Amino acid sequence: MAVARAADEVVVQARQVAADLLEASLDDVVFDPAERRFHVAGTPAVAREWSEVAAAAQERGTSLGAEVDYVGSSPTFPFGAHIAVVEVDTETGMVAVQRVVAVDDAGRILNPLLAEGQVHGGLAQGVAQALLEEVRYDEDGNPVTSNLADYAFISAAELPSFETVHMETPTPINELGAKGIGESGTIGSTPAVQNAVIDALAHLGVEHIDMPASPERVWRAIQAADGSGGARPGAGGSP
pLDDT of residue 184: 86
Q: Give the residue among 222, 224, 217 at the shortest CA–CA distance from 232.
A: 222
Which pTM value belongs to this model?
A: 0.77
Q: How many residues does the chain have?
A: 239
Q: Distance between CA atoms of 195 and 84, rounded to whole angstroms?
A: 8
> Which residue type sits at 169?
T
List, for residues 161-185, the tens digit of each pLDDT value: 999 999 999 999 999 999 988 888 8
Q: Distance between CA atoms of 146 and 153, rounded to whole angstroms?
A: 13
Helical pair 50-59 and 2-22, crossing angle rounded to 10 deg: 80
pLDDT of residue 180: 87
Q: Give the residue among 236, 237, 122, 113 at the shortest CA–CA distance from 189.
A: 122
pLDDT of residue 45: 87
CA dist list (Å): 89 to 14, 113, 138, 158, 224: 65, 36, 29, 15, 16
pLDDT of residue 229: 43
| E strand or H helix that includes residue 165 | strand 163-167
Q: Look at residue 219 and give its three-state secondary structure.
A: helix
Q: What is the pLDDT along the chain (239 residues), one digit of tens a residue?
A: 999 999 999 999 999 999 999 999 999 999 999 889 999 998 888 899 999 999 999 998 888 999 999 998 999 988 999 999 999 999 999 999 999 999 999 999 999 999 999 999 999 999 999 999 999 999 999 999 988 888 988 999 999 999 999 999 999 999 999 998 888 889 999 999 999 999 999 999 999 999 999 999 999 999 998 654 444 444 444 44
Q: Give the residue among 100, 81, 72 at the shortest CA–CA distance from 5.
A: 72
Q: Which domains does the chain have, with CATH numbers?
A: 2-59 (no CATH), 80-226 (3.30.365.10)
State the catalytic residues. 183
Q: In this structure, are residues 43 and 100 in contact, taking their beta carbons and an 8 Å threshold?
A: no
Q: Distance between CA atoms of 164 and 154, rounded to whole angstroms?
A: 19
CA dist list (Å): 152 to 61, 129, 145, 208: 57, 10, 9, 22
Rg of the Cα atoms in the chain:
27
pLDDT of residue 183: 84
DSSP secondary structure letter of residue 74:
S
